């Protein structure tokens, strides 16, 4: 598992080696189209630099394919069940496989205004912690007898909702009282 910007900076050479040596490996590249760890600088996928200069954008999928990887799947990590199924399917196949996990950076999406957030119905929450254990989401907080969601931290991805076995997690408009 490697981020897109780290892949461009240093991981690309490892993928070249894996292709060249025909390594049996599943690589997941988390493509959020930004260098999130150092302040959201543009990756080679951007058309414009921070200073406004026009650049030639690269397609991560085309770069990976150009290196010789043949089995490439672009998947949305917010579609949890589909994503898990893709991983399960590919991990058991021989050879080099690459999943490009493509979704905009959650921090940037939040800054530009996420219209929806999740909330937990206290009548349905059994405190099974499936949402916490599966997602590790920082918006989830543990109360005495149930889990709650800190609305200001929620990015509206619905991953917690998708894994809740009791349908206790629902979507609402940001700021809406429930």
pLDDT in tens, the chain (178 residues): 998 988 998 899 999 999 999 999 999 999 987 666 666 677 778 787 778 889 888 899 999 999 999 999 999 999 999 999 999 999 999 999 999 999 877 766 666 666 789 999 999 999 999 999 999 999 999 998 899 999 989 989 999 999 999 999 999 987 777 7
Q: Identify the DSSP state of 11.
A: I
Structure tokens at 169: 């997690």
2-105 has CATH 1.10.8.50 classification: no
Please spell the DSSP secondary structure of 97-153, one letter per residue: EEEEEE---HHHHHHTT--EEEEE-TTT-----HHHHHH--TTEEE-SSSEEE-GGG
Burial 79-94 (b: 16+ CB within 10 A, else e): ebeebeebbeebeeee
Domain boundaries, given as residue ranges, for the chain: 2-105, 113-173
Can you name the CATH fold of 113-173? Alpha-Beta Plaits (3.30.70)
Compute how many other C-beta atoms are within 10 angstroms of the C-beta atom of residue 75.
Answer: 19
């Amino acid at each position: 598992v490697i981020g897109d910007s780290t892949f461009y900076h240093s991981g690309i050479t490892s993928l070249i080696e894996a292709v060249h040596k025909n390594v049996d490996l599943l690589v997941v590249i988390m493509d959020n189209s930004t260098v999130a760890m150092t302040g959201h600088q543009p990756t080679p996928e951007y058309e414009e630099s921070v200073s406004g200069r026009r650049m030639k954008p690269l397609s991560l999928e085309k770069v990976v394919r150009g290196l010789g990887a043949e089995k490439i799947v672009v998947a949305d990590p917010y579609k949890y069940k589909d994503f898990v199924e893709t991983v399960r399917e590919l991990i058991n196949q021989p050879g080099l496989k690459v999943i490009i996990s493509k979704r905009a950076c959650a921090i940037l999406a939040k800054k530009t205004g996420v219209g929806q957030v999740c909330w937990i119905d206290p009548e349905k929450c059994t405190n099974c912690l499936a949402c916490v254990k599966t997602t590790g989401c920082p918006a989830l907080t543990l109360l005495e007898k149930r889990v709650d969601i800190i609305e200001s931290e929620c990015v509206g991805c619905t991953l917690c909702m998708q894994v809740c076995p009791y349908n206790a997690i629902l979507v609402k408009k940001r700021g809406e009282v429930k």
